[in-house]
Amino acid sequence: AFAALTQPDSKSVNMAGTVEITCSGGGSFYGSYYYQKTPGTGPVTVIYWNTNRPSGIRSRFSGSLSGSTNTLTITGVQAEDEAVYYCGSRDSSAGAGTGTQSNVEVKDSP
């Protein structure tokens, strides 16, 4: 099931902008978690069960589900949000077990 998940390879967003990262083919179970991975750190859950934000995760992170497509939205992007994001189920939290991930690059606003 994980192999069916597809995400854009990369996203570039201006500081304080909004970025949406979609995960197609997951739906309410397989794509229900979003993880953030930065160099030298383990994955951090930013969204679970499609729309829920763990304690300690900033409110600029939100999740939604439409059909079989999950979307992670970051509103008011900050420099520290530059990372690799991937979707999956709870069981894939140890690594990018979905085989799909999106790299978010944050640019300085002109």
In a domain, 10, yes or no: yes
Whether residue 92 has pLDDT greater than 70:
no
Whether residue 2 has pLDDT greater than 50:
no
Whether residue 98 has pLDDT greater than 60:
no
| Tens-place pLDDT, residues 23-81 | 888 777 777 899 999 989 888 999 999 999 999 999 999 999 998 889 999 999 999 99
In a domain, 99, yes or no: no
In a domain, 110, yes or no: no
Whether residue 94 has pLDDT greater than 50:
no
Which segment of 2-16, 48-62, 83-97 scores lowest on mean pLDDT? 83-97
C-alpha 65/C-alpha 59 separation (Å) is 17
In a domain, 107, yes or no: no
Residue 82 lies in domain: 2-94
In a domain, 73, yes or no: yes
| 20 contacts 85 by C-beta, under 8 angstroms | no
In a domain, 33, yes or no: yes
> Which tokens sit at 109?
């606003």
In a domain, 11, yes or no: yes
In a domain, 85, yes or no: yes
pLDDT the model gives residue 60? 98
- Domain total for the chain? 1
Model pTM?
0.86
C-alpha 100/C-alpha 4 separation (Å) is 9
CATH code of the domain containing 82: 2.60.40.10
